[in-house]
Structure 1
Amino acid sequence: MIKKRFGLTVITQPPLTQYLGPWILPAQSKRAKQLSREKDLMQALVDQLPQYHIYRQTWSPDYQNWMPFYWRGFAQTTRYSYRIENLSNLDEVWGGFQAGIRSDIRKAQKQGVVVERSADLSTFLSLNEMVFKRQGRAAPHPESLVKNIDEAAASRNQRAIFIAADEEGRSHAAVYLVWDQHSAYYLMGGGDPELRNSGATSLCLWEAIQFAATVTRSFDFEGSMIEPVERFFRAFGGEPVPFYSLSRAHNRWLNLAMSIRS
């Protein structure tokens, strides 16, 4: 995605896109020859980039050979997500949860909280907005963008919305899930701050994980580098998965600014 910012041309991630970067069709050859081919193709990709002032993209965890970009002056910051790699045995997945997560799930169930798969995007957006209001911030993505993404994902039957509500009709928490043949991705979430101790968020995620097991192989929390969020995701028993954020600026002062920001 190319955008203008303060008069600068920036190549960056599209909104709500966790992973991007190059994708190279695997070749049926010896590993050394594959790597040589990757090097040539990736250097050709760098040469074909449009003119820019700043490049910043986050690559898929499945692709970690960024050396050809390093040789062309790019820098890299390692980030982490959590991923439950194998959803084929949900008893094992449940057993991998920390005791606190299982307790939260049981607590929510005892309080009569029920999770339903819903097409109610407006309720999800309301719960999502509450998270940012509690932090004194506006939601980072406009509703129009989320609605466009939802329409595209729904048309492909590759999204599900889960809403946790109690017997009084109060919506406690929500999960927005998308998936492909490899994994499900926890794209967005939300919750009512007044009800955040009900355990509904953990229950909602557990229901989403169980659903994901019916449509794909793994579950990616699209992890955060924010410590409290990381701690919560880690409690679901997934493996930390590194992925790379690459950057480059055609100006040493811009490079310095990006390194400080990272």
Structure 2
Amino acid sequence: MSREERKQHYISLCEKGKILGLFMQPWWLDTTGDWDVALAIRNDQVVGAMPYAPGKRWGIRTVGMPALTHHLRIWMDKPPDISDHKWLTREKQIIWLLIDDLPAYGYFSMVFEERSFNNWLPFHWKGFRQEMRYTFVIDRMEEEALDQHINRNLKRNIKEASAGLTIQRQVDAKTFYEMCSNTYKRQKMDMPYSFTLFSNVDAAVLSRGNGIKLGACDLRGKLVAVAFLLWDNDRAYYLLAGDDVGGRDTGASILLCREALRIAFEEKKVNTFDFCGSMLESISDIRRQFGARPEPLMKIFKARYKWLEVLYSLTR
């Protein structure tokens, strides 16, 4: 089956409402660059799907995550009346069919939302490895309850920040990108995505009404922090954030987080707010002060050669 045929099968499943989640939608995958999908087919029916981004690094073919995509899911067609033990057998068969449908690769690395499937044993039996990662989430609650949920000291910092900052709901894409880029530079890290890629994603998200770029300005009108909030019918995603070199002292970043929570729950009525990370202790501490709880993600990976796994671990 050709790539275009696989994609058409996948698009059809999404159009029928079988595959949910913003990062799983074809329009999202289209904006992030080159993508493909592995399909599991039984009795001429698609029973499983796993989108991915094919790539090449150091001349070696890779199967990985699309750019700017926090996590993906594995979709499997689970009959509503199937017993648990029969499903475990079927699940293994579907995952193995998906693995068999992948192209030849030297390195595989994907991050999956555990809600979509929580049994990675079929991957393990095929020689893959797993690393548990975490994001932080808050389930929907009313404003008053959310306010009580937030740590007292953080709440005071948010109040102080709101006295000296204003929030704007429109930020130029170039300005947003430059602030995020400068945030990476201060940490001596390479910017992981180009402006062209970001502007394409931004345009697609805004045209569909699935996101907003927020900014915090000081009393002089200077932009000191930005955040990119996305949403689907179920979740909001605090995908990107950046700040000015002097913005951290103003509390701008936590003020934007608080505003993003308000938009997600009060305006968009989503069920869950996903902070999209982080594994960093300093950032996870702040997420917990907002009252967020950790939610597991599964990073599943496999290298054809041991030296390749070592090389990737040193450069990721």
TM-score by length of 1: 0.92
Change beyond 3 A, Cα 1:96–1:195: same
The match for 1:44 among 97, 112, 119 is 97
Any conservation in 2 of the 1:80–1:243 contact (CA below 8 Å)? yes
The match for 1:233 among 276, 287, 309 is 287
Alignment partner, residue 137 of structure 2: 83
- Paired residues, what number? 260
Alignment partner, residue 148 of structure 1: 200
Change beyond 3 A, Cα 1:90–1:61: farther
Matched, 1:190 2:242: yes
Q: Which moved more, 1:69-78 or 1:219-228?
A: 219-228
Unaligned runs of 5+ in 2: 1-52
CA distance in structure 1 between the partners assigned to 2:209 and 2:161 by the alignment? 29
**CA RMSD, Structure 1 to Structure 2 (Å):** 1.8
CA deviations over 1:75-97 (Å, ceiling 9, x no partner): 00000110002x23222222221
CA distance in structure 1 between the partners assigned to 2:176 and 2:315 by the alignment? 31
The match for 2:128 among 45, 66, 74 is 74
The equivalences for 1:1-262 within 5 A come to 1-29=53-81, 30-62=83-115, 63-85=117-139, 87-111=140-164, 113-213=165-265, 214-215=267-268, 216-257=270-311
Counterpart of 1:200, as a letter, is A
Where 2:259 maps in the other structure, the secondary structure is: helix
Q: Which moved more, 1:132-141 or 1:234-243?
A: 132-141
Where 2:246 maps in the other structure, the secondary structure is: helix
* Higher RCO, Cα 8 Å, sep 6+: 1
CA distance in structure 1 between the partners assigned to 2:314 and 2:246 by the alignment? 36
Counterpart of 1:35, as a letter, is L
Alpha-carbon deviation of 1:35?
2.6
Alpha-carbon deviation of 1:259?
6.5
CA distance in structure 2 between the partners assigned to 1:206 and 1:75 by the alignment? 37
Change beyond 3 A, Cα 1:236–1:26: farther
Any conservation in 1 of the 2:243–2:253 contact (CA below 8 Å)? yes
CA deviations over 1:142-174 (Å, ceiling 9, x no partner): 111100111111121101111111231011211
